[in-house]
Amino acid sequence: TQLLEQSPQFLSIQEGENLTVYCNSSSVFSSLQWYRQEPGEGPVLLVTVVTGGEVKKLKRLTFQFGDARKDSSLHITAAQPGDTGLYLCAGARVSSGSARQLTFGSGTQLTVLP
Amino acid sequence: NAGVTQTPKFQVLKTGQSMTLQCAQDMNHNSMYWYRQDPGMGLRLIYYSASEGTTDKGEVPNGYNVSRLNKREFSLRLESAAPSQTSVYFCASSERTGSIYEQYFGPGTRLTVT
């Protein structure tokens, strides 16, 4: 059982469309991070959210942390082919006792078609 | 500034063979990690090292050993490889910023055990 459930697992859209990726859990997280991974490479950190209800923007990407710190979403406006990649959410569970240990979701594979 | 480097990039082993995956970081980070990534499973933590001289088990430590050689280097050893250890292995490092540990990943080692 995945502690962090991501949906959808796969998403294929046309350039210019908007999309939202979800990351859900029954556990509470002290912080939640989003990474993007391209083929043959390691994940690269996009953002960290810490406070319940927090919203962060990174150009066309908007990240939100749920009020109860159990879920998060990533919204991309006007997607571009360069946004193609595997998006991973990862959280530091309060119950783990260590902010070092991240629990990763299984990822959302996004393909943006030109 | 190379960040996190891993060697080798690819490796094929036969069942029962042993090998060591090498990882080094030049960011002067205290914490280092080893993950494996399997399709549909996200990244799972194998072992981590909070600081030089310490190591701790993660979610899936069975069949692996680690050594934190110094602050820069953290190696992962498979003593007797099994087909179930076919995976992509990522090393990461992190430093604490407030209550957050943001992780930086290497490019990965693709291991096949036949």
pLDDT tens string A36-61: 999 889 999 999 999 999 999 999 99
pLDDT at A99: 65
**pLDDT at residue A98 greater than cutoff 90:** no
Contact B106 A42 (CB under 8 A): yes
With cut-offs at 50, 70 and 90, classify the pLDDT of residue A96: low
Q: A103 to chain B: nearest residue by CA?
A: B44
Pick the more confident residue, A11 or B99.
A11
ω before A43 within 30° of 0 (cis)? no
Per-residue pLDDT of B63-105, as tens digits, reads 999 999 899 999 999 999 999 999 999 999 998 877 788 899 9
Q: Determine the distance in angstroms separating the CA of A1 from the nearest CA of chain B, rounded to an integer.
A: 10
Q: Phi and psi of A83, rounded to 5°?
A: -80, -10
Residues A87, A33 contacting (CB under 8 angstroms): no
With cut-offs at 50, 70 and 90, classify the pLDDT of residue B42: confident
Of A48, A104, A106, the CB nearest to B102: A48
**pLDDT at residue A1 greater than cutoff 60:** no
Of B41, B101, B103, the CB nearest to A106: B41
Contact A102 B103 (CB under 8 A): yes
pLDDT, mean of residues A67-87: 96
**pLDDT at residue B8 greater than cutoff 80:** yes
> In chain B, which residues have their Cβ closer than 8 Å to the Cβ of A98?
50
Q: Which of residues 8-27 of B touch A (CB under 8 A)?
A: none
Q: Determine the distance in angstroms separating the CA of A77 from the nearest CA of chain B, rounded to an integer.
A: 25
Check CB contact of B43 with chain A, cutoff 8 Å: yes
Q: Which residues have C-beta within 8 Å of that of residue A39, sequence separation ≥ 6?
A: none
Of B42, B96, B99, the CB nearest to A104: B42
With cut-offs at 50, 70 and 90, classify the pLDDT of residue A97: low
ω before B8 within 30° of 0 (cis)? yes
Q: How far apart are CA B98 and CA A99, in angstroms?
A: 11
**pLDDT at residue A86 greater than cutoff 80:** yes
Contact B45 A102 (CB under 8 A): yes
Question: Cα–Cα distances in Å, from B53 out to B6, B18, B20, B75?
Answer: 20, 24, 18, 13
Contact A106 B42 (CB under 8 A): yes
pLDDT, mean of residues B57-66: 95
